[in-house]
């Protein structure tokens, strides 16, 4: 590109990047979509399925993901141990309580291509329930990706100045009884 030497240009092109995503108040599916693109390497113009050009993705705050709708109670994660009577079905809540990274992990695993590269890509995925990351991984990080969902503000998160500054539709009279 910008007049690099040949060796330096090649090194920079094929280097493996480390991305960080914060999962707080994010739908796990959207998080998974972003990470799968980066794990495969499809965000690079030099992508090829056999090139092994995927990057690392670190997801923090997986405990604080947010399902839309009633999925916490209604989404079921099933598994069978292989033994008779080994069919287990867990709701999202139960699974999340058992393992806070499992939901995101399952989402990503299901979105990756169903071939032998999948396991390799899963090894390049690093999930952390809170924002505590080991130091060696922290040193590797290149950049943080923007969150897919805009987090709405709760009413108690607004400051008094913002509330006052908000335009009122009408000013009720003094003796108006508000129910």
Residues within the interface to another protein (CB under 8 A): 1-6, 8-9, 11-12, 15-18, 56, 136-137, 139-143
Task: Provide the minimum distance between the beta carbon of 36 and another protein in the complex, in angstroms, as a whole number.
Answer: 20
**Burial category of 162 from C-beta neighbours within 10 Å (exposed 0-12, middle 13-18, buried 19 and up):** exposed
In the complex with another protein, the residue whose CB is nearer, 34 or 103, is 34
In the complex with another protein, the residue whose CB is nearer, 14 or 47, is 14
* Residue 145 contacts residue 19 (beta carbons within 8 Å): yes
* Residue 34 contacts residue 160 (beta carbons within 8 Å): no
User: Could you give the 3-state DSSP secondary structure of residue 60?
Assistant: strand
In the complex with another protein, the residue whose CB is nearer, 12 or 49, is 12
**Tokens (6 digits) for 55:** 């990057």
Task: Provide the minimum distance between the beta carbon of 110 and another protein in the complex, in angstroms, as a whole number.
Answer: 28
Task: Provide the minimum distance between the beta carbon of 14 and another protein in the complex, in angstroms, as a whole number.
Answer: 9
- Which ranges of 43-174 does DSSP label H, i.e. alpha helix? 71-74, 92-98, 102-111, 117-123, 135-140, 160-165
In the complex with another protein, the residue whose CB is nearer, 140 or 147, is 140
DSSP 4-54: --HHHHHHHHHPPPEEEEE-TT--HHHHHHHHHHHHHTTTSTT--TTS---
Task: Provide the minimum distance between the beta carbon of 48 and another protein in the complex, in angstroms, as a whole number.
Answer: 19
User: Could you give the 3-state DSSP secondary structure of residue 64?
Assistant: helix
Task: Provide the minimum distance between the beta carbon of 20 and another protein in the complex, in angstroms, as a whole number.
Answer: 11
């Amino acid at each position: 590109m910008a007049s690099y030497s040949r060796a330096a240009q090649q090194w920079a092109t094929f280097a493996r990047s480390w991305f960080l995503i914060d999962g707080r108040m994010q739908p796990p599916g959207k998080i998974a979509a972003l990470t799968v693109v980066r794990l495969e390497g499809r965000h690079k113009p030099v992508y090829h399925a056999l090139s092994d050009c995927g990057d690392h993705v670190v997801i923090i705050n997986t405990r604080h993901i947010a399902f839309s709708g009633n999925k916490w109670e209604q989404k079921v994660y099933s598994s069978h141990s292989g033994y008779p009577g080994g069919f287990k079905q867990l709701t999202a809540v139960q699974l999340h309580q058992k393992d806070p990274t499992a939901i995101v992990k399952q989402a990503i695993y299901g979105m990756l291509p169903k071939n032998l590269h999948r396991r390799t890509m899963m090894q390049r995925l690093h999930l952390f329930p809170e924002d505590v990351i080991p130091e060696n991984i922290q040193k590797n990080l290149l950049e943080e990706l923007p969150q897919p969902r805009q987090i709405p503000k709760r009413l108690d998160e607004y400051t008094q100045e913002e509330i006052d500054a908000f335009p009122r539709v009408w000013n009720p009279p003094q003796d108006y009884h508000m129910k």
